[in-house]
Amino acid sequence: MSNISFFIGSCSKQDFVLGLATLLSRAGRRVLLVDAMNMPWLTYRNQTWINKEKWCRWNGMDTISGILHWEELIQISRQQEIDLDSYDDVLIDTDRLTFCDATTFMSARERVMVQTVEAYAIHRNMEWIKSFRLLHDVDLNREIRLLILNTVDHVKEVAYIMEHLQSIYVTPKEEATFIPFDEENWAAYLYNEVNERTDLSKYTKIARTVWRIWLERSCGPISDRNWRKLLRSDKKGRWWHEAM
């Protein structure tokens, strides 16, 4: 499906994926954000854990959390009488090896492996790649983009991660994208949590630049003026929540 983007990996990538979904929705696109992680996070961000909803509208986008596999997503969408093809963007955050079949994964618009330099995250992703390849008999070489979070020395860390990936015969489809570690990003995250806002202008310039790169892959070029408007919002998350 040409409207789907997979963000795979065991590291915490919720801030990046949620930020991208927010920007896409502010740009006027119809967005579905899917949390299919083994340890779900979205149900706590949009507070659906309270009433046990799986599918709800929140902050201008549709969201679904606690999904185990693709068939469950299809089943719930039919119950809601919603066509997945009607979305401009379906962002799926998952670390589940068996979330979907190879055809669904390989036909997606984007396949992004999100990585940090910790040994745990590196070897979990290596295990995912090797297992997916064996399970589905599919070659992932040059089929996955690589996004590295919280780098300190990005030159050494990118080279270190690439060495591990190449040891299992996988090279990303292009040069890795990275977001350096910066306390400013952590402060921005906490500000938005405490104030129940999504003000992406508070993140570092590099983080905002990476978001813009991914946004323009879907929307095309965006003027600087419009970009600045997309970064800010006066709306609080709970004001925008409604059950579907």
Domain contains 238: no
The two counts, helices (H) then strands (E), for the chain are 9, 9
**Is the pLDDT at 240 greater than 80, yes or no?**
no
- Of residues 81 and 237, more confidently modeled: 81
Q: How many domains does the chain have?
A: 1
- Of residues 197 and 127, more confidently modeled: 127
For the segment 111-141, what is each residue's pLDDT rounded down to a tens digit? Answer: 999 999 999 999 999 999 999 999 999 999 9
**Is the pLDDT at 155 greater than 90, yes or no?**
yes
For the segment 156-194, what is each residue's pLDDT rounded down to a tens digit? Answer: 999 999 999 999 999 999 999 999 999 999 999 999 989
Give the pLDDT band (50/70/90) at residue 196: confident
Triad 65, 141, 96: Cα angle to 5°: 20
The pLDDT score that the predictor gives to residue 1 is 63
Domain contains 242: no
Q: What is the dihedral of CA 28, 46, 206, 96, to 10 degrees?
A: -100
The pLDDT score that the predictor gives to residue 234 is 53
pTM of the entire predicted model: 0.93
For the segment 56-110, what is each residue's pLDDT rounded down to a tens digit? Answer: 999 999 999 999 999 999 999 999 899 999 999 999 999 999 999 999 999 999 9
Domain contains 234: no
Domain contains 240: no
Domain contains 15: yes
For the segment 11-45, what is each residue's pLDDT rounded down to a tens digit? Answer: 989 999 999 999 999 999 999 999 999 999 999 99
In 3D, which of 52, 26, 51, 46 has the Cα closest to residue 34?
A: 46
Domain contains 233: no
Burial of 45 (0-12, 13-18, 19+ CB in 10 A): buried
Query: What's the CA gap between 58 and 228, in Å, rounded?
Result: 22
What CATH number has the domain bearing residue 99? 3.40.50.300
Domain contains 241: no
Domain that holds residue 122: 4-228
| Contact yes or no for 244/80 (Cβ under 8 A) | yes
User: What is the 8-class DSSP label of residue 216?
Assistant: H
The pLDDT score that the predictor gives to residue 233 is 67
Domain contains 167: yes
